[in-house]
């Protein structure tokens, strides 16, 4: 893979992915209903491409809700985390990102949320990221 990337003139950020423009395809199933896939561009800076833990970690905040990352693991090819939120809105979210190469990744993020004893959210998001080129 290194020879292929070198041949393409792609320099992987140390312990990261290629900075630049990415095409992100998002597929969503929300409470049993499949939503049509969407593809959007995302420009990653060199700092974001190097710090995968920060770039791909959850950010959630709510009124009267406290969140804590209760699990986190990172290897050369995988990043996994679990976020638990408790308070007015309770939420559990787990994710697994797989980095196939410096120019391709995929992820699955599953989230369930409750207000009181009633489940309000049951969502699975699948992401596919593909490097396109330099940001414009």
What average pLDDT does the chain have?
87
CA distance 101 to 26: 19
pLDDT given at position 8 = 32
CA distance 136 to 134: 6
Greater confidence (57 vs 84) lies with: 84
Q: What is the pLDDT of residues 33-71, one digit of tens each?
A: 999 999 999 999 999 999 988 899 887 767 788 999 999
CA distance 37 to 23: 13
pTM above 0.85, yes or no: no
Answer whether residue 5 shows pLDDT above 50: no
First to last CA, the chain: 27
């Amino acid at each position: 893979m290194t020879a292929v990337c070198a041949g393409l003139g792609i320099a992987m950020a140390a312990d990261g992915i290629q900075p630049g423009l990415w095409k992100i395809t998002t597929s969503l199933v929300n409470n049993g209903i499949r939503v049509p896939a969407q593809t959007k561009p995302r420009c990653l800076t060199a700092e974001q491409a190097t710090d995968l833990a920060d770039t791909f970690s959850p950010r959630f905040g709510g009124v009267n809700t406290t969140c804590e990352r209760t699990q986190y693991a990172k290897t050369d090819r995988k990043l996994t985390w679990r976020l638990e939120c408790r308070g007015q809105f309770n939420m559990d979210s787990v994710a697994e990102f797989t980095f196939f190469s410096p120019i391709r990744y995929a992820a699955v993020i599953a989230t369930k949320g409750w207000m009181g004893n009633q489940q309000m959210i049951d969502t699975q998001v699948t992401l596919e990221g593909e490097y396109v080129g330099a940001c414009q």
